[in-house]
Chain A
Amino acid sequence: MRQWRSIAKEAMDRASIIVKFLCLLHVTDAYVVSSNHVLGPSMLPTLNITGDVVLVEHLSHRIGKLGSGDLVLVRSPLDPNKTLTKRIVAMEGDKVTFSLDPTRSFSSRSLVVPKGHVWIQGDNLYVSRDSRHFGPLPYGLIEGKVFMRVWPPNSFGLLG
Protein backbone atom coordinates (compact mmCIF):
# COMPACT_ATOMS: atom_id res chain seq x y z
CA MET A 1 0.00 0.00 0.00
CA ARG A 2 2.78 2.40 0.99
CA GLN A 3 4.58 1.57 -2.24
CA TRP A 4 1.59 2.66 -4.34
CA ARG A 5 1.33 5.85 -2.37
CA SER A 6 4.94 6.81 -2.94
CA ILE A 7 4.69 5.94 -6.63
CA ALA A 8 1.54 8.02 -6.96
CA LYS A 9 3.18 10.94 -5.17
CA GLU A 10 6.20 10.83 -7.43
CA ALA A 11 3.96 10.65 -10.52
CA MET A 12 1.99 13.68 -9.30
CA ASP A 13 5.18 15.66 -8.69
CA ARG A 14 6.48 14.96 -12.15
CA ALA A 15 3.11 15.67 -13.74
CA SER A 16 2.84 18.99 -11.92
CA ILE A 17 6.22 20.10 -13.26
CA ILE A 18 5.04 19.29 -16.78
CA VAL A 19 1.74 21.11 -16.21
CA LYS A 20 3.55 24.19 -14.91
CA PHE A 21 5.80 24.18 -17.94
CA LEU A 22 2.86 23.85 -20.34
CA CYS A 23 1.14 26.72 -18.54
CA LEU A 24 4.19 28.93 -19.04
CA LEU A 25 4.47 27.84 -22.66
CA HIS A 26 0.83 28.63 -23.26
CA VAL A 27 0.98 32.08 -21.69
CA THR A 28 4.11 32.92 -23.70
CA ASP A 29 2.48 31.56 -26.84
CA ALA A 30 -0.69 33.59 -26.41
CA TYR A 31 0.67 36.84 -25.02
CA VAL A 32 4.33 37.20 -25.96
CA VAL A 33 5.57 35.41 -29.07
CA SER A 34 4.59 32.27 -30.92
CA SER A 35 5.61 30.48 -34.07
CA ASN A 36 3.32 29.83 -36.99
CA HIS A 37 3.54 27.88 -40.23
CA VAL A 38 2.22 29.92 -43.14
CA LEU A 39 1.81 28.71 -46.68
CA GLY A 40 0.08 29.67 -49.88
CA PRO A 41 0.70 32.04 -52.78
CA SER A 42 -1.15 35.10 -51.50
CA MET A 43 1.89 36.76 -49.89
CA LEU A 44 4.46 36.23 -52.67
CA PRO A 45 7.19 37.43 -52.90
CA THR A 46 7.38 38.22 -49.19
CA LEU A 47 6.47 34.72 -48.00
CA ASN A 48 7.13 31.51 -49.92
CA ILE A 49 4.42 29.44 -51.49
CA THR A 50 5.77 26.18 -50.05
CA GLY A 51 5.56 27.35 -46.48
CA ASP A 52 7.54 29.40 -43.99
CA VAL A 53 7.79 29.27 -40.23
CA VAL A 54 7.41 32.77 -38.85
CA LEU A 55 7.51 34.30 -35.38
CA VAL A 56 4.42 36.26 -34.37
CA GLU A 57 4.40 38.70 -31.48
CA HIS A 58 1.21 39.26 -29.54
CA LEU A 59 1.99 42.54 -27.82
CA SER A 60 1.68 45.26 -30.48
CA HIS A 61 -1.98 44.72 -31.29
CA ARG A 62 -2.95 44.88 -27.61
CA ILE A 63 -1.30 48.27 -27.07
CA GLY A 64 -2.51 49.67 -30.38
CA LYS A 65 0.91 49.91 -32.03
CA LEU A 66 -0.07 48.40 -35.38
CA GLY A 67 0.07 50.49 -38.52
CA SER A 68 -0.09 50.22 -42.28
CA GLY A 69 2.64 48.09 -43.74
CA ASP A 70 2.64 45.61 -40.84
CA LEU A 71 2.32 41.91 -41.56
CA VAL A 72 -0.39 40.47 -39.32
CA LEU A 73 -1.87 37.13 -38.39
CA VAL A 74 -5.67 37.40 -38.31
CA ARG A 75 -8.58 35.05 -37.70
CA SER A 76 -10.49 34.62 -40.94
CA PRO A 77 -13.90 36.35 -41.00
CA LEU A 78 -15.15 33.63 -43.34
CA ASP A 79 -13.99 30.58 -41.36
CA PRO A 80 -13.34 31.08 -37.63
CA ASN A 81 -11.12 27.99 -37.50
CA LYS A 82 -8.60 29.38 -39.99
CA THR A 83 -5.98 32.08 -39.59
CA LEU A 84 -4.70 34.26 -42.43
CA THR A 85 -1.43 36.16 -42.85
CA LYS A 86 -1.78 39.44 -44.72
CA ARG A 87 -0.47 42.99 -44.70
CA ILE A 88 -2.31 45.96 -43.19
CA VAL A 89 -2.80 48.49 -45.98
CA ALA A 90 -4.97 51.04 -44.16
CA MET A 91 -6.05 51.72 -40.57
CA GLU A 92 -9.43 53.06 -39.42
CA GLY A 93 -10.25 56.44 -40.89
CA ASP A 94 -7.85 56.07 -43.82
CA LYS A 95 -9.07 56.18 -47.38
CA VAL A 96 -8.14 53.08 -49.37
CA THR A 97 -8.18 52.72 -53.16
CA PHE A 98 -8.20 49.21 -54.53
CA SER A 99 -9.15 47.23 -57.57
CA LEU A 100 -10.64 43.77 -57.45
CA ASP A 101 -8.97 42.80 -60.70
CA PRO A 102 -5.38 44.11 -60.91
CA THR A 103 -5.09 43.13 -64.54
CA ARG A 104 -7.58 45.86 -65.40
CA SER A 105 -6.11 48.99 -63.84
CA PHE A 106 -9.01 51.28 -64.60
CA SER A 107 -11.57 49.42 -62.47
CA SER A 108 -10.72 50.80 -59.03
CA ARG A 109 -12.89 51.73 -56.06
CA SER A 110 -12.29 53.84 -52.97
CA LEU A 111 -13.68 53.76 -49.49
CA VAL A 112 -12.90 54.99 -45.98
CA VAL A 113 -12.03 52.27 -43.47
CA PRO A 114 -14.72 52.34 -40.72
CA LYS A 115 -14.00 52.77 -37.02
CA GLY A 116 -12.66 49.68 -35.30
CA HIS A 117 -11.59 48.03 -38.57
CA VAL A 118 -8.46 47.63 -40.71
CA TRP A 119 -7.96 46.94 -44.41
CA ILE A 120 -5.72 43.98 -45.19
CA GLN A 121 -4.37 42.80 -48.52
CA GLY A 122 -2.04 40.04 -49.60
CA ASP A 123 1.18 41.13 -51.32
CA ASN A 124 0.27 38.98 -54.31
CA LEU A 125 -2.85 40.83 -55.43
CA TYR A 126 -3.65 38.41 -58.22
CA VAL A 127 -4.39 35.40 -56.03
CA SER A 128 -5.07 36.83 -52.60
CA ARG A 129 -8.52 36.75 -50.99
CA ASP A 130 -8.49 39.68 -48.61
CA SER A 131 -10.38 42.83 -47.65
CA ARG A 132 -11.08 43.45 -51.32
CA HIS A 133 -13.36 40.40 -51.14
CA PHE A 134 -14.67 40.25 -47.57
CA GLY A 135 -14.54 43.91 -46.61
CA PRO A 136 -12.75 45.70 -43.79
CA LEU A 137 -11.59 43.43 -41.00
CA PRO A 138 -12.69 44.13 -37.39
CA TYR A 139 -9.64 44.94 -35.25
CA GLY A 140 -10.72 42.31 -32.71
CA LEU A 141 -9.84 39.52 -35.17
CA ILE A 142 -6.15 40.47 -35.29
CA GLU A 143 -4.10 37.91 -33.35
CA GLY A 144 -0.55 39.20 -33.72
CA LYS A 145 2.14 40.83 -35.83
CA VAL A 146 4.57 38.79 -37.91
CA PHE A 147 8.06 40.12 -37.37
CA MET A 148 10.55 37.41 -38.25
CA ARG A 149 11.02 34.31 -40.38
CA VAL A 150 12.96 31.36 -38.97
CA TRP A 151 12.50 28.69 -41.68
CA PRO A 152 13.74 28.02 -44.36
CA PRO A 153 17.20 28.81 -43.04
CA ASN A 154 18.36 30.61 -46.16
CA SER A 155 15.67 33.27 -45.64
CA PHE A 156 16.10 33.59 -41.89
CA GLY A 157 15.63 37.18 -40.75
CA LEU A 158 13.34 40.05 -39.88
CA LEU A 159 10.28 40.64 -42.05
CA GLY A 160 8.22 43.66 -42.95
Chain B
Amino acid sequence: MGEWSSRVIPIVRGLCLLYVTHKYLGTTVVTYGPSMLPTLGITGNVLLMERISTRTGKLRPGDVVFFRSPENPRRVVCKRLVGMEGDQVTYVVDPKNSDKCNTIVVPKGHVWVEGDNIYNTKDSRNFGAVPYGLVEGKAFWTLLPRRDFGSLAPKPK
Protein backbone atom coordinates (compact mmCIF):
# COMPACT_ATOMS: atom_id res chain seq x y z
CA MET B 1 0.00 0.00 0.00
CA GLY B 2 2.75 2.43 0.94
CA GLU B 3 4.75 1.80 -2.22
CA TRP B 4 1.71 2.17 -4.47
CA SER B 5 0.70 5.47 -2.91
CA SER B 6 4.22 6.85 -3.10
CA ARG B 7 4.08 6.40 -6.88
CA VAL B 8 0.58 7.70 -7.39
CA ILE B 9 0.86 10.82 -5.26
CA PRO B 10 3.52 12.59 -7.38
CA ILE B 11 1.39 11.84 -10.45
CA VAL B 12 -1.68 13.30 -8.78
CA ARG B 13 0.31 16.38 -7.79
CA GLY B 14 1.55 16.77 -11.35
CA LEU B 15 -1.98 16.51 -12.71
CA CYS B 16 -3.16 19.04 -10.15
CA LEU B 17 -0.50 21.52 -11.26
CA LEU B 18 -1.33 20.86 -14.91
CA TYR B 19 -5.00 21.45 -14.22
CA VAL B 20 -4.42 24.73 -12.38
CA THR B 21 -2.17 25.96 -15.19
CA HIS B 22 -4.74 24.93 -17.78
CA LYS B 23 -7.59 26.65 -15.98
CA TYR B 24 -5.95 29.86 -14.86
CA LEU B 25 -2.81 30.51 -16.90
CA GLY B 26 -3.11 29.02 -20.36
CA THR B 27 -2.87 25.98 -22.54
CA THR B 28 -2.15 24.79 -26.08
CA VAL B 29 -5.01 24.63 -28.54
CA VAL B 30 -5.34 22.94 -31.93
CA THR B 31 -7.43 24.87 -34.44
CA TYR B 32 -8.76 23.80 -37.83
CA GLY B 33 -11.14 25.15 -40.43
CA PRO B 34 -11.16 27.89 -43.07
CA SER B 35 -12.79 30.70 -41.11
CA MET B 36 -9.56 32.40 -40.02
CA LEU B 37 -7.62 32.31 -43.30
CA PRO B 38 -5.05 33.67 -44.01
CA THR B 39 -4.08 34.07 -40.35
CA LEU B 40 -4.71 30.42 -39.43
CA GLY B 41 -4.52 27.57 -41.92
CA ILE B 42 -7.24 25.10 -42.89
CA THR B 43 -5.32 22.00 -41.91
CA GLY B 44 -4.69 23.13 -38.41
CA ASN B 45 -2.50 25.24 -36.22
CA VAL B 46 -1.24 24.67 -32.71
CA LEU B 47 -1.60 27.87 -30.71
CA LEU B 48 -0.80 28.94 -27.18
CA MET B 49 -3.77 30.43 -25.37
CA GLU B 50 -3.54 32.48 -22.21
CA ARG B 51 -6.39 33.14 -19.82
CA ILE B 52 -4.94 36.03 -17.84
CA SER B 53 -6.05 38.75 -20.27
CA THR B 54 -9.65 37.56 -20.16
CA ARG B 55 -9.74 37.45 -16.38
CA THR B 56 -8.20 40.90 -15.97
CA GLY B 57 -10.31 42.42 -18.73
CA LYS B 58 -7.33 43.31 -20.93
CA LEU B 59 -8.73 42.13 -24.25
CA ARG B 60 -8.57 44.59 -27.15
CA PRO B 61 -10.07 44.62 -30.66
CA GLY B 62 -7.64 42.84 -32.93
CA ASP B 63 -6.96 39.99 -30.50
CA VAL B 64 -7.58 36.42 -31.63
CA VAL B 65 -9.81 34.90 -28.97
CA PHE B 66 -11.33 31.54 -28.09
CA PHE B 67 -14.89 31.37 -26.83
CA ARG B 68 -17.52 28.74 -26.12
CA SER B 69 -19.95 28.65 -29.05
CA PRO B 70 -23.37 30.17 -28.27
CA GLU B 71 -24.89 27.51 -30.53
CA ASN B 72 -23.12 24.45 -29.17
CA PRO B 73 -21.85 24.69 -25.59
CA ARG B 74 -19.48 21.76 -26.06
CA ARG B 75 -17.45 23.49 -28.80
CA VAL B 76 -14.79 26.14 -28.44
CA VAL B 77 -14.51 28.52 -31.39
CA CYS B 78 -11.59 30.74 -32.49
CA LYS B 79 -12.25 34.13 -34.08
CA ARG B 80 -10.88 37.66 -34.01
CA LEU B 81 -12.25 40.21 -31.55
CA VAL B 82 -13.55 43.15 -33.55
CA GLY B 83 -15.55 45.18 -31.03
CA MET B 84 -15.80 45.49 -27.25
CA GLU B 85 -18.98 46.57 -25.41
CA GLY B 86 -20.08 50.04 -26.44
CA ASP B 87 -18.08 50.03 -29.70
CA GLN B 88 -19.80 50.75 -32.96
CA VAL B 89 -19.18 47.95 -35.47
CA THR B 90 -19.80 48.16 -39.22
CA TYR B 91 -19.86 44.83 -40.99
CA VAL B 92 -20.74 43.40 -44.39
CA VAL B 93 -23.84 41.29 -43.91
CA ASP B 94 -23.35 38.83 -46.79
CA PRO B 95 -20.08 39.45 -48.66
CA LYS B 96 -20.67 36.69 -51.22
CA ASN B 97 -23.90 38.16 -52.54
CA SER B 98 -23.94 41.89 -51.87
CA ASP B 99 -22.04 44.83 -50.45
CA LYS B 100 -24.74 45.75 -47.97
CA CYS B 101 -23.34 46.96 -44.65
CA ASN B 102 -24.91 47.09 -41.22
CA THR B 103 -23.83 49.09 -38.19
CA ILE B 104 -24.58 48.10 -34.63
CA VAL B 105 -23.43 49.07 -31.16
CA VAL B 106 -22.07 46.13 -29.18
CA PRO B 107 -24.35 45.67 -26.12
CA LYS B 108 -23.06 45.80 -22.54
CA GLY B 109 -21.28 42.68 -21.35
CA HIS B 110 -20.81 41.37 -24.91
CA VAL B 111 -18.10 41.30 -27.59
CA TRP B 112 -18.29 41.19 -31.38
CA VAL B 113 -16.18 38.56 -33.11
CA GLU B 114 -15.54 37.96 -36.81
CA GLY B 115 -13.49 35.41 -38.69
CA ASP B 116 -10.67 36.82 -40.88
CA ASN B 117 -12.07 34.93 -43.87
CA ILE B 118 -15.41 36.71 -44.09
CA TYR B 119 -16.54 34.62 -47.06
CA ASN B 120 -16.51 31.35 -45.11
CA THR B 121 -17.16 31.93 -41.46
CA LYS B 122 -19.96 31.76 -38.92
CA ASP B 123 -19.42 34.53 -36.44
CA SER B 124 -21.20 37.41 -34.72
CA ARG B 125 -22.78 38.32 -38.05
CA ASN B 126 -24.69 35.03 -37.74
CA PHE B 127 -25.17 34.45 -34.01
CA GLY B 128 -24.92 38.00 -32.70
CA ALA B 129 -22.67 39.51 -30.06
CA VAL B 130 -21.11 36.93 -27.72
CA PRO B 131 -21.54 37.39 -23.93
CA TYR B 132 -18.16 38.08 -22.34
CA GLY B 133 -18.69 35.17 -19.92
CA LEU B 134 -18.26 32.73 -22.82
CA VAL B 135 -14.78 34.02 -23.75
CA GLU B 136 -12.15 31.50 -22.66
CA GLY B 137 -8.78 32.98 -23.60
CA LYS B 138 -6.61 34.88 -26.03
CA ALA B 139 -4.22 33.29 -28.56
CA PHE B 140 -0.81 34.89 -28.35
CA TRP B 141 1.69 32.51 -30.00
CA THR B 142 1.73 30.02 -32.88
CA LEU B 143 3.69 26.84 -32.36
CA LEU B 144 2.88 24.94 -35.56
CA PRO B 145 3.27 25.02 -38.53
CA ARG B 146 6.91 25.99 -38.28
CA ARG B 147 6.79 28.75 -40.83
CA ASP B 148 4.14 30.60 -38.77
CA PHE B 149 6.03 30.22 -35.49
CA GLY B 150 5.71 33.43 -33.52
CA SER B 151 3.05 35.92 -32.59
CA LEU B 152 -0.12 36.03 -34.65
CA ALA B 153 -0.61 38.35 -37.59
CA PRO B 154 -2.87 41.38 -37.18
CA LYS B 155 -6.20 41.55 -38.94
CA PRO B 156 -5.70 41.61 -42.73
CA LYS B 157 -6.93 44.79 -44.41
Contacts and interface: CB of A to CB of B under 8 A. Distances in A.
Given A76-B133, A138-B134, A116 B20 contact: no
A77 B68 CA distance: 13
A98 interface: no
Interface string A36-61: 00000000000000000000000000
Contacts of B109: 76-80
B110 A77 contact: yes
A138 B131 contact: yes
Contacts of A80: 109, 131-133
Contacts of B133: 75-77, 80, 140-141
Given A116-B71, A116-B72, A117-B70, A140 B134 contact: yes
B16 A115 contact: no
Given A20-B16, A138-B70, A140-B134, 19 more contacts: A23-B16, A77-B131, A77-B133, A78-B107, A80-B133, A115-B71, A115-B72, A116-B70, A116-B72, A116-B73, A138-B68, A138-B130, A138-B131, A138-B134, A140-B68, A140-B73, A140-B133, A141-B131, A141-B134
10 contacts: A20-B16, A23-B20, A75-B131, A77-B110, A77-B131, A77-B133, A79-B108, A80-B133, A116-B71, A140-B69
Nearest to B17: A23
Contacts of B72: 115-116
Interface in A74-126: 75-80, 114-117
B108 A139 contact: no
A139 to B, nearest CB: 4
Residue from A80, A115, A139 having most chain B Cβ neighbours under 10 A: A80
Interface residues of A, number: 17
The bracket for how many chain B residues form the interface is 10 to 19
A116 B108 contact: no
A140 B108 contact: no
Nearest to A141: B133
Contacts of B20: 23
A140 B76 CA distance: 10
Interface in B66-120: 68-73, 107-110
A139 B131 contact: no
A142 B27 CA distance: 23
Closest 8 CB pairs of A and B: A140-B68, A75-B133, A77-B131, A80-B132, A139-B73, A138-B70, A78-B109, A116-B71
A138 B73 contact: yes
B19 to A, nearest CB: 8
Nearest to A16: B13
Contacts of A75: 131, 133
Contacts of B107: 78
A93 to B, nearest CB: 13
A141 B132 CA distance: 9
